[in-house]
Amino acid sequence: DTGVSQNPRHKITKRGQNVTFRCDPISEHNRLYWYRQTLGQGPEFLTYFQNEAQLEKSRLLSDRFSAERPKGSFSTLEIQRTEQGDSAMYLCASSLGVANEKLFFGSGTQLSVL
């Protein structure tokens, strides 16, 4: 168990640029989640994948945000035309896909939009 890996750990970008984050879940986990966390707040749910299918998206996920999990393994989260309000920690989590399971979170990608 190598844990959930997220890259990059930090990203600084200018407003209007596009950014992409990658998440590599624990290998046998078929569920993958994206959360966003701002300073002093708890993580907020963004979206969820069961294998390669994106099954739920939060209203927080505007049309500038897109997430993929092409082969049911790693996932990418892209933000287009970044805004300063996008600055946050983006967390990925994975799980086995059983009832009342625990989620395993990565260390996140800290995005700063200047």
Partner 1 sequence: LAKTTQPISMDSYEGQEVNITCSHNNIATNDYITWYQQFPSQGPRFIIQGYKTKVTNEVASLFIPADRKSSTLSLPRVSLSDTAVYYCLVATDTGFQKLVFGTGTRLLVSP
The helix/strand/coil state of 85 is helix
CA distance 112 to 98: 35
Please report whether residue 33 would count as binding partner 1 according to CB under 8 A: yes
Report the nearest approach of partner 1 to the CB of residue 48 (Å): 5
User: 39 to 98, contacts with partner 1 by CB under 8 A?
Assistant: 40-45, 48, 50, 55-56, 91-93, 95, 97
Q: Could you identify the residue written with the tokens 């749910």?
A: 45
CA distance 45 to 70: 20
* CB contact at 8 A, 88 and 69: no
| Closer to partner 1 by Cβ: residue 44 or 68 | 44
* CB contact at 8 A, 50 and 72: no
- Interface pick for partner 1 out of 65, 69, 108, 111 (rule CB under 8 A): 108
Max alpha carbon distance in the chain (Å)?
A: 41
Report the nearest approach of partner 1 to the CB of residue 16 (Å): 27
| Closer to partner 1 by Cβ: residue 17 or 110 | 110
- The binding site for partner 1 (CB under 8 A) comprises 4, 31, 33, 40-45, 48, 50, 55-56, 91-93, 95, 97, 99-108, 110
